[in-house]
Chains A and B, each alone.
Chain A
């Protein structure tokens, strides 16, 4: 159950696009289409933004999109807005009835 690898930080200006990567192995991200992304503002609970690699829950803006290639999943935020500044975490089913999270990425809107 090793943590997925995310860059510690990412940034972009308002209106720009930014992509956050999440690298696992062929035992988790690469083996299952069960990658999720969560947004967490300081002092708040996480919020589901993307599930099953690329699906958006109701109410999540379509500026948020997800994809996967091999052992790496990605979250893209288009048309950056100030309220998108937050920590973002990926997670994946890791087989053997376990779930693993990434270390988190702090997204800064410049």
Chain B
């Protein structure tokens, strides 16, 4: 069965960096585009970024462009999100999800990132 497991969340000070990982199993990871989607506490879902199945294309929400970098290692079935220059408003649960521009069909359970001094 498809499984996505995020890790790397935690408490970080404003302006610092954090790297999230998402370990995929149960499907051919290298065949699928992957998303990062976040949800601030008590708020709705916000799309963050998408990476093509082969890593050839990467697209970002305006709110994170220039600060976050999405990447993947298909040899290790792992998706990453490098987050730099973190701000308080980046505090959220970060989900990885399998899909395309049209949908996200499987989601992980999320990892909480708290940006606070």
Contact = CB atoms under 8 A, between A and B. Distances in A.
User: Do A and B interact?
Assistant: yes
Interface of A: 1, 3, 34, 36, 38, 40, 44-48, 51-52, 57, 89, 91, 93, 97-104
Given A97-B59, A99-B50, A46 B45 contact: yes
A102 B44 CA distance: 8
Interface string B42-75: 0011110010000001010110000000000000
B13 interface: no
Interface of B: 35, 37, 44-47, 50, 57, 59, 61-62, 95, 97, 101-110
A55 to B, nearest CB: 9
Contact of A101 (B45, B102, B107, B109): B45
A100 B47 contact: yes
A51 B110 contact: no
Given A1-B61, A1-B62, A98-B59, A48 B105 contact: yes
A44 B97 CA distance: 14
B110 A45 contact: yes
Given A45-B95, A46-B95, A98-B61, A36 B47 contact: no
Among A46, A47, A57, A102: residue with most chain B CB under 10 A: A46
Given A93-B101, A97-B59, A46 B107 contact: yes
A99 B105 contact: no
Nearest to B98: A48
A34 B101 contact: yes
B44 A3 contact: yes
B6 to A, nearest CB: 10
B108 A45 contact: yes
B116 to A, nearest CB: 21
Contacts of B108: 45
